[in-house]
Structure 1
Amino acid sequence: MVAGGDGIVAHSDALLAGGSIDIESGGGASTGAALETSSKGVKTGVYLIVEGADLSVDSADDSLHSDGAIRLSSGTLEIASGDDGIHAEVAAVLDGADVTVSQSNEGLEAGLITVADGSVDITASDDGINGSGSTSVEAGVAAAAASSDETGAVEQQDQRQAGPGGEGADFTDSGELVTISGGSLVVNAGGDGLDSNGSISITGGTTTVWGPTNDGNGALDCNGTMSVTGGTLLAVGSAGMAEAPSSTEGAGWISAALSGAQGSKVRIVDSAGTEILSFTASKAFASIVYASAQITNGADYTIEVDGSSTSVTAGQAAAGTGGAMGGPGGQGVPVALGGPRAR
């Protein structure tokens, strides 16, 4: 379908359980979100659930938007957005679908984000994953009820004028939570790669972050605690705002401030010369963070970039690299949501 405004609108719930659905709204992602017109791909007031559908969305505004929660359990989603690829006011759960966000301002945004299974590949000009929003049903209902297309347009304009990366924002932990417990996640971001106004918890899965090349953002950005206790995390980006995990019980981590170009060959080896990891850089970088059960905090490792070696001690942040700020963890994903009206 081709729509000048929103593609599919449900004031309560939308369940996409099969078939093939193609949506172009507002002229597509290349048009960019208009301040005066809502041009989202799929928009709901409470739940947006994809179970088995093959969905292609090319939208000027958010491709998938819910005032409540989004769950992507199975199916294939191809998303291009002039604003957010996936936006939920309260919770977004990706637990089995194959999701590709090929273009977006911010790839995935919600107060409570869970990646539990499936394959997720996100490209964003600003933040790749952004834990920002409401963390309870009550707060989500209030936020949706207080919003309108007009106020949303003003907020969007203010964000654009403020510039990328949330400059001037409050850096206190506001309770949001990004959880990665399984699946494969790849993020390529021009702003922050993994960003949470609250905490980040990685307990499983494979997470790869190609972060920013500018020093005003970081591959990892967390106002609360950043915990890595399972799975693997590779975060490559600039050094100016680089962060390392604050807790890694069950997994060690390496942090290094060293530079490479797009296409650089990188290897991590232990003191015995055994290769732990090798990869080719997708973009220029000035810092590397790697967390895995294969890493032992306190042990020495060598990072090679195009044959040039740097020695590091696991569990120690590189010069100019800080750990995430301490703070309380986030809250669980709500089982049920109230009835906010669609925007």
Structure 2
Amino acid sequence: MEGCAAVSTDAENSAASEQAAAASASDVEYASFEEVAATFDESALDLGYSKRDLDASHDASSATVITLSGDSASVQGAGAQASAAGAVISSAGTYIVSGELTDGQLLVDAGDDDKVQLVLAGATIHNEDAPAIYVRNADKCFVTLDAGTENNLSDGSSYALESDSDEPYATLFSRCDLTLNGSGTLNVTSAYRHAVCSKDDLVVVSGTYNISAVEDGLRGRDSVKVRDGVFTIQAGGDGIKSNKDDDPTKGFVSIDGGAFDIQAGDDAVQGKTLIRLAGGSLTVAANDDAFHSDLEMHLLGASIEASAGDDAFHAETKLTVDGGIVNVASCNEGYEAEKVYVNGGDTHIVASDDGVNASAADLSDDADADTVSSTLPNGGTPGAPGKGGGAATPDAGGQAPAGAQQSGQAPDAAAQQDGQAPGAAGVQQGGQAPDAAGAQQGGSAPEPPVGDNAGGAGGATDPRQQGGDPAAGGGVGQADNSCLIQINGGYLVVDSVGDAIDSNDNVEVTGGVLLVSGPTSDGDGAFDYDGSATISGGTVLMVGSTGMAQSFTGGTQAFAMTSASGEAGQSVCVVDGSGNVVASFTATKRFGMVLTSSPAFAEGGEYTLVIGGEIANANADGYTDSGAVSGGSETAITASCAASAGMGSAGGPGAAGGK
């Protein structure tokens, strides 16, 4: 997989990649998005930047100068003419634009092979009924933000559309490939629909952008690629979006760098085929998903702070985490896809339902219908004009919509009654058993089952395993053999109100560190799967409720599960026969069971579980795999590579929570 985007060596993207992409798009007709999905291959995408994309320089001595003044414009040089609406550019070249146009437009209407560079050098353009800048025709348009300048684009709330069309529909609207570069600042306020939109590829190389839009902030139909820049985006729809659905080489969002602050009424970032997060720093808050792809998602190296009204990272078919730092302060579900692969990275998830969920993909056209919100997560209003045409100022005292909590927000009082982690919503969502809320009101853990009532091979008490009444938390679980959670590396910490690790078929752990504070309700479990769960490497330490407790079904690395009660804030530690710490962490809520495995475990080995001790050299999560512990209550455990009856058994496949 590509860790950083390549730079083409010629003036534009390499001819070979362009021809390959064109051939794949033109030679094959796709009757449905399912057919697109079947042929999608991330390695076939053009993720690079051309030499000219990266070159923000211009020759002022040979450029045409366009000066805006009130309701008119003057032109010095060839290739452009003043018009009743502002100015029209009709041929290839470089055009330096400055001044203010109070109600007019800069129109690019050049030849099919023409490349046009617009250098915004202190330009302010407002158009009451159309785009401020409209690239109607060209081969490619480069908008360069001149160093040290601030530029402003804005529009009115209704457009005079072209005949028999819904176009144009953005304050900066391009029918051709559009590249934004330079080191200046661009403020875009869209009162009609989108802020910046290309019907082909949208590439952002550098610059500072303050964007407020009634609908989407940055939108490229074929793709959106960001190499660097500083972005503040408030969008009533999606913050960043690509939506082409009939070509497996298009419809993606790729972010290699930049600093982002996104607040979205729908998804913060949405891609049709792929979202690729390879670098940069993103702080996002969304009323729906923070990141949503209708096919795949790939995390390689970005630093992400996210809060979401629904899922934090949702990919329909495959979600791969190879690197990066992810901190999800609040969400419904954290990582969700049909197949979830965690190979690296540092992830913390606080979820009001499942932490990591594998459920069957939905590739129907209405799987993720667009929505537009008039209230952003921080209470601001998208599209409201800001000072100098910039981004809207959040309304003072605004309230976040239900289900969307802000990062750092104090948890609801009801959610704290038994040490529930901050950020988890007070109202529980997504198929939770009806008695779950009541189960969390008490200050002590429920009495753990033992012997034949443990929910294991000796006799399951979970009504979902016995064909119980679905209204009582029942419904017989059925595995979907397409679903998989595979943890091969990385550092993953999950705090969930629902199931922490939930697969509608299999779970495989081969490496990494997995730390879980699972649910307190007996209608959910720290570990939930419908097929099998195996372990062959890595460190696992899970705590949660007992009613649906499941262990591993087997593997090549020994594991142990036992009844053990503790409270929020207490350490959970496993030590070997010499008193050395094998694994530890700090629970964020009360619990009645512990499931653990470590590369240090031997088949049949005897270990000690210590609750509430003082652990030396632990990190902020209370984790270490070395050192010593003092104090605390002790429980003897035996590790094995096979599930055993009673509390240490697999618990039997339960009904995974699903979507």
After TM superposition, the score normalised by the length of structure 1 is 0.81
Partners of 1:240 and 1:170 in 2: CA distance: 16
Post-superposition offset of 1:281: 2.5
Map 1:53-72; keep pairs closer than 5 Å: 53-72=280-299
Post-superposition offset of 1:326: 7.0
Partners of 2:650 and 2:537 in 1: CA distance: 18
Task: Tell whether the 8 Å contact from 1:13 to 1:45 is kept in structure 2 after alignment.
Answer: yes
Partners of 1:252 and 1:8 in 2: CA distance: 45
Post-superposition offset of 1:70: 0.5
Report the structure number with the largest CA radius of gyration. 2
Task: State the SS of the aligned residue for 1:83.
Answer: coil
Task: Tell whether the 8 Å contact from 1:224 to 1:324 is kept in structure 2 after alignment.
Answer: no
Residue 20 of structure 1 aligns with an amino acid whose one-letter code is A
1:273-315: per-residue Cα shift (whole Å, max 9, x none)? 4443344332211100111121123222222324332222222
With over 3 angstroms needed to count, the CA separation of the structure-2 counterparts of 1:219 and 1:70, relative to structure 1, is same
Other-structure match for 1:156? none
Task: State the SS of the aligned residue for 2:561.
Answer: strand
Structure 2 residue 541 is the aligned partner of structure 1 residue 210: no
Give 1:319's match in structure 2, choosing from 602, 627, 646.
Answer: 646
With over 3 angstroms needed to count, the CA separation of the structure-2 counterparts of 1:45 and 1:257, relative to structure 1, is same
Post-superposition offset of 1:170: 5.0
Other-structure match for 2:221? none
With over 3 angstroms needed to count, the CA separation of the structure-2 counterparts of 1:300 and 1:162, relative to structure 1, is closer
Task: State the SS of the aligned residue for 1:18.
Answer: coil
More strand by share: 1
Partners of 2:653 and 2:522 in 1: CA distance: 22
Give 1:105's match in structure 2, choosing from 301, 325, 332.
Answer: 332
Map 1:226-265; keep pairs closer than 5 Å: 226-249=533-556, 251-265=557-571
Say which is worse superposed, 237-246 or 272-281, in terms of deviation: 272-281
Other-structure match for 2:492? 185
Residue 145 of structure 1 aligns with an amino acid whose one-letter code is D
Task: State the SS of the aligned residue for 2:302.
Answer: strand
Map 1:69-84; keep pairs closer than 5 Å: 69-84=296-311
Other-structure match for 2:527? 220
Partners of 1:318 and 1:235 in 2: CA distance: 19
Give 1:149's match in structure 2, choosing from 369, 374, 390.
Answer: 369
Structure 2 residue 522 is the aligned partner of structure 1 residue 201: no
Residue 570 of structure 2 aligns with an amino acid whose one-letter code is S
With over 3 angstroms needed to count, the CA separation of the structure-2 counterparts of 1:7 and 1:239, relative to structure 1, is same
Partners of 2:430 and 2:584 in 1: CA distance: 40
Extract unaligned runs of 5+ from structure 1: 27-38, 135-139, 152-158, 328-343
Cα RMSD after superposing both structures = 2.6
Task: State the SS of the aligned residue for 2:535.
Answer: strand
With over 3 angstroms needed to count, the CA separation of the structure-2 counterparts of 1:326 and 1:189, relative to structure 1, is closer
Task: Tell whether the 8 Å contact from 1:221 to 1:324 is kept in structure 2 after alignment.
Answer: no
Structure 2 residue 255 is the aligned partner of structure 1 residue 16: yes
Task: Tell whether the 8 Å contact from 2:528 to 2:653 is kept in structure 1 after alignment.
Answer: no
Partners of 1:204 and 1:75 in 2: CA distance: 22
With over 3 angstroms needed to count, the CA separation of the structure-2 counterparts of 1:113 and 1:287, relative to structure 1, is same
Residue 281 of structure 1 aligns with an amino acid whose one-letter code is A
Other-structure match for 2:635? 310
Partners of 2:283 and 2:270 in 1: CA distance: 14
Partners of 2:516 and 2:293 in 1: CA distance: 26
Structure 2 residue 278 is the aligned partner of structure 1 residue 51: yes
Task: Tell whether the 8 Å contact from 2:561 to 2:649 is kept in structure 1 after alignment.
Answer: no
Post-superposition offset of 1:324: 6.0
Residue 10 of structure 1 aligns with an amino acid whose one-letter code is S
Partners of 1:302 and 1:161 in 2: CA distance: 36
Partners of 1:186 and 1:54 in 2: CA distance: 20
Post-superposition offset of 1:160: 5.2
Post-superposition offset of 1:97: 1.5
With over 3 angstroms needed to count, the CA separation of the structure-2 counterparts of 1:174 and 1:228, relative to structure 1, is same
Higher relative contact order (CA 8 A, sep 6+): 1
Task: State the SS of the aligned residue for 1:84.
Answer: coil
Post-superposition offset of 1:127: 0.4
Residue 180 of structure 1 aligns with an amino acid whose one-letter code is I
Task: State the SS of the aligned residue for 1:149.
Answer: coil
Task: Tell whether the 8 Å contact from 1:255 to 1:317 is kept in structure 2 after alignment.
Answer: no
Other-structure match for 2:142? none
Count of residue pairs the alignment pairs up: 301
Extract unaligned runs of 5+ from structure 2: 1-232, 244-250, 372-427, 437-469, 613-631, 655-659
Task: Tell whether the 8 Å contact from 2:560 to 2:648 is kept in structure 1 after alignment.
Answer: no
Other-structure match for 2:314? 87
Partners of 1:16 and 1:148 in 2: CA distance: 22
Map 1:99-178; keep pairs closer than 5 Å: 99-134=326-361, 143-145=363-365, 147=367, 149=369, 162-163=431-432, 167-168=473-474, 170-175=476-481, 176-178=483-485
Partners of 1:163 and 1:5 in 2: CA distance: 29
Partners of 2:608 and 2:645 in 1: CA distance: 13
Post-superposition offset of 1:266: 3.3
1:105-138: per-residue Cα shift (whole Å, max 9, x none)? 111110010111111111101100001122xxxx
Task: Tell whether the 8 Å contact from 1:223 to 1:324 is kept in structure 2 after alignment.
Answer: no
With over 3 angstroms needed to count, the CA separation of the structure-2 counterparts of 1:169 and 1:18, relative to structure 1, is farther
Partners of 1:318 and 1:78 in 2: CA distance: 42
Partners of 2:430 and 2:334 in 1: CA distance: 19
1:210-251: per-residue Cα shift (whole Å, max 9, x none)? 1111111111111111111011111111111111111220x1
Task: Tell whether the 8 Å contact from 2:548 to 2:651 is kept in structure 1 after alignment.
Answer: no
Identity %, equivalent residues: 36
1:39-69: per-residue Cα shift (whole Å, max 9, x none)? 1111111111111121121000001001100
Partners of 2:498 and 2:357 in 1: CA distance: 10
After TM superposition, the score normalised by the length of structure 2 is 0.43
Post-superposition offset of 1:17: 1.5
1:52-104: per-residue Cα shift (whole Å, max 9, x none)? 12112100000100110010111211110010001011010110121111110
Task: State the SS of the aligned residue for 2:486.
Answer: strand
Partners of 1:52 and 1:150 in 2: CA distance: 27
